[in-house]
Amino acid sequence: MNECYYDKRMDFFYNRTKTDTADEWTGAQLIGVLCFGTFFCLFIFISNSLVIAAVVKNKRFHFPFYYLLANLAAADFFAGIAYVFLMFNTGPVSKTLTVNRWFLRQGLLDTSLTASLVNLLVIAVERHMSIMRMKIHSNLTKKRVTFLIISIWAIAIFMGAVPTLGWNCLCDITVCSSLAPIYSRSYLVFWSVLNLVVFFIMVVVYTRIYMYVQRKTNVLSSHTSGSISRRRTPVKLMKTVMTVLGAFVVCWTPGLVVLLLDGLNCTDCGIQNVKRWFLLLALLNSVMNPIIYSYKDDEMWATMKRMICCSSEDKSQERRSSRIPSTVLCRSTDTSGHYIEDGIIQGTICGKGDLGDKGNS
């Protein structure tokens, strides 16, 4: 019968993996990482708080997609909290942690990253269903959106707690990983492959959306006079989709590949030298989401600026902001070809936060 090591401190497991946490997290490197992390955590807290407040304050955002957007911001806000906890429990401190505290540290990170990823997937599926049915409004009711949000967090919490619930190596230290000394290597393989599969699904979904919108735009443009702005929309959509997918690839894939290599017990891959930098890179996804999903929406940006400046906009500014495509969400009876073209395009862009490109009225 294998001996279990629940009562050991983390130095026992770090010494087995020969991870010298004291040397690699001291001096200028430690200061640089902490300053870098602190700056981005502050930005995550402020920017995502503004996104949530904007959705709550502005009645134009009281639609299913924006509720999911607010939940994505909440997931990113939680990621900031998880990283702050990590900063105070890493480096030389790592070896002094109890097993339960280390599980909490990693569980917070896994929960926050899973919440963000699943939320992005739900948004992708919701946009795909709406666009393929040529509808602007989502069929989701508030009850369904609430159920989806609760489900997202239930999945995230469960995934964050899986190692604590038993999928670890505390009773079989021969299968312990190197990056996560009390995680089983099989769990790291499962975790990384699962996330890479979800990423692939998102690529397929958004590729289908883009191809469908481009095809419909070409068909409908031959029957309508379409403005130059509308004819350029497929290009703008491509930029938005590529920005979202590019950010996800850059921020997530390196870390997932490193975890997969560790799970496969690649001892000559030098993963210990890059692990903390890939963690920071993954954190950047939470930094970039408010920019990608909110800043490109003129009305969202205007709402956030009003809250920052603590002053209300004048009536003319409000009239100008009402001309952006967010108002399309309030109309559902126009069935002309002109409206369908705009609806498909703007509904798709709305799904990725590019609702109302600057200067498009």
Q: Give the least confident one: 16-30, 173-187, 329-343.
A: 329-343
Sign of CA dihedral 333, 338, 344, 346: negative
**What pLDDT is recorded for position 101?**
92
Q: Where are the domains of the chain?
A: 10-219+232-308
**Given this model, what pLDDT does residue 11 score?**
85
Q: What is the pLDDT, as a whole number, of residue 175?
A: 87
At residue 254, the pLDDT reads 86
Helices (H), the chain: 10-17, 21-24, 27-57, 64-87, 99-132, 142-165, 185-221, 228-231, 233-263, 275-290, 298-309, 315-321, 337-351
Please give the distance of CA 160 from its chain centroid, rounded to a whole number.
16
| Euclidean distance between CA atoms 234 and 254, whole angstroms | 30
The answer to whether the predicted template modeling score (pTM) of the entire model surpasses 0.75 is yes
Q: Which letter does DSSP use for residue 330 in this model?
A: G
**10 Å Cβ neighbour count for 103?**
20
CATH number of 10-219+232-308: 1.20.1070.10
End-to-end CA distance of the chain: 71
How does pLDDT run across 184-240, given as a tens digit for each residue?
A: 999 999 999 998 898 888 888 877 877 777 777 677 665 555 454 444 544 454 555
Specify the length of the chain in residues.
361
Which residues contact residue 137 at a Cβ distance below 8 angstroms, ignoring those fewer than 6 apart?
63, 130, 329, 332
Report the pLDDT value the prediction gives residue 156, as an integer from 0 to 100: 94
Per-residue model confidence as pLDDT tens digits over 33-65: 778 778 888 988 998 898 899 888 888 888 887
Q: At residue 274, does pLDDT exceed 80? A: no
